[in-house]
Chain A
Amino acid sequence: MLHYLEMEDKVTSPEKAEEAKLKARYPHLGQKPGGSDFLRKRLQKGQKYFDSGDYNMAKAKMKNKQLPTAAPDKTEVTGDHIPTPQDLPQRKPSLVASKLAG
């Protein structure tokens, strides 16, 4: 009887073994993966934040070359140098909590 119970513990499905691996790496992972947090992140796909006012100002300045502009400082990101939406890095919402937070 005891022997049979020991066998049960060792034979876990590959899926459950993978789940154990995941929980070991991310102990704070929520219990319900299909829950609303996951779905709401999915619904927010494609969200990029940028200031449309600054973007339009920058576009207007590029057209009108006579305006004095400061020498482009590659490290500074203000005013004329607001990145265009195409330049924005993709903000992928991370589902798994950062290891630093763990």
Chain B
Amino acid sequence: MAISRGLAGRTVPEAADIISTVEFNHTGELLATGDKGGRVVIFQREPESKNAPHSQGEYDVYSTFQSHEPEFDYLKSLEIEEKINKIKWLPQQNAAHSLLSTNDKTIKLWKITERDKRPEGYNLKDEEGKLKDLSTVTSLQVPVLKPMDLMVEVSPRRVFANGHTYHINSISVNSDCETYMSADDLRINLWHLAITDRSFNIVDIKPANMEDLTEVITASEFHPHHCNLFVYSSSKGSLRLCDMRAAALCDKHSKLFEEPEDPSNRSFFSEIISSVSDVKFSHSGRYMLTRDYLTVKVWDLNMEARPIETYQVHDYLRSKLCSLYENDCIFDKFECAWNGSDSVIMTGAYNNFFRMFDRNTKRDVTLEASRESSKPRAVLKPRRVCVGGKRRRDDISVDSLDFTKKILHTAWHPAENIIAIAATNNLYIFQDKVNSEMH
């Protein structure tokens, strides 16, 4: 099964330590996390040791920096949180790594470089940098590059500010590697990575009269291969695929993906639980994965009428919706992820549980990310939530689920069976040692 390595957090989580986003880079060598305190921590996978070929590389801290600080908009009396909402890596084009990180209002481009050599043997300065007494200099030398301890340097290269009135929920780098988009509740903007003083608005769903507002944008993503296509999801459960070649302003969708609702099943909660909290294109670009409060759904780009697959994440919560509405948990935004071959999908749930669904075998499993249940090198044991009726020994009953322990953010390595799970302030990285290649 899977082997775990937990990375410790404090026993009483400080709000700033709560992880708010997790993202592997395109090779899976680096893993970035953002937290509520505006900090980014990057982990790097250690290269495999030749002596122990079965001991695959584990992730160690590579770099950490303060990406965003809290700000105040005095004009509107608004506090702007420093919490990192999303991190997206740019494809690597040279020795340096770059990523975009965003809070509610401002996107920043960070460049991460390594320095492992430094010049020594200057003529005018000594080793500490002090000016030499010129009378002691009798000959000229050419400074030589000498190896030094690895230093990872991070610098902000661009700051994309003032593009959004509402809170940014998504960013997505285009496959053209030149542009990216940022989406807030009502608008989506297109930026060029090199230009910070302007952006193009490509979607605007703000009604003329705010009282007519019926739905907001919840997530958006560029197609992985077609640089002209992007999708955005709404709080009403629909997906809109837009083509930037069709018009400058993509208010009119090219395709609308919506599952028809059974009117007899409609309740007060129907619209809230149908709100899509995350949308992800498959690696193939043929499918989309969406997460709403109780299910994950796979959509075929060629079929708008309904999803091709629906998986129940925690249907037993249907009889708890009243209390979940009162404690606001019904508004929790869970993410979803594909594995590298698009054959397995994963999403988080409550009680530090996360779920995986195999699309081919139709089997699913519930696993737990917690210190007690996963010692390093231990095999994860499948968990089960019982809904009454027959109860097995290690089952958890619905009423004893801890709703403060939510796994909102998960990520899957682009090629291997390695997953990163954020459980409040703790990060878990699980590796499948038996079947390390995807299948």
Contact = CB atoms under 8 A, between A and B. Distances in A.
Given A43-B166, A85-B72, A14 B79 contact: no
B185 interface: yes
B394 interface: no
B332 to A, nearest CB: 13
A29 B269 CA distance: 12
Interface string A39-50: 110110111111
Given A15-B321, A22-B322, A39 B214 contact: yes
Contact of A34 (B81, B166, B214, B326): B214
Nearest to B271: A34
Q: Looking at chain A, what size class is its interface with the partner chain?
A: 20 to 34
Nearest to B270: A15
Interface string B46-85: 0000000000000000000000001010101111110000
A21 interface: yes
A102 interface: no
Sort A-B residue pairs by CB-CB distance and give the 3 closest, nearest first: A34-B271, A14-B319, A18-B321
Contacts of B268: 19, 22-23, 29, 33
B50 to A, nearest CB: 51
A15 B318 contact: yes
Q: Looking at chain B, what size class is its interface with the partner chain?
A: 35 or more
Nearest to B72: A85
Contacts of A36: 210-214
Interface in A49-102: 49-50, 52, 85-86, 96
Interface string B193-224: 00000000000000000111111100000000
Interface of A: 13-19, 21-23, 25, 29, 33-36, 39-40, 42-43, 45-50, 52, 85-86, 96
Contacts of B186: 43
Contacts of B78: 46-48
B239 to A, nearest CB: 17
Contacts of B236: 34
Contact of B320 (A18, A19, A40): A18
Query: Which of B78, B212, B320 has the most chain A CB atoms closer than 10 A to its own CB?
Result: B78
Nearest to B76: A47
A36 B213 CA distance: 5
Query: Which of B79, B81, B166, B216 has the most chain A CB atoms closer than 10 A to its own CB?
Result: B79
A90 to B, nearest CB: 10
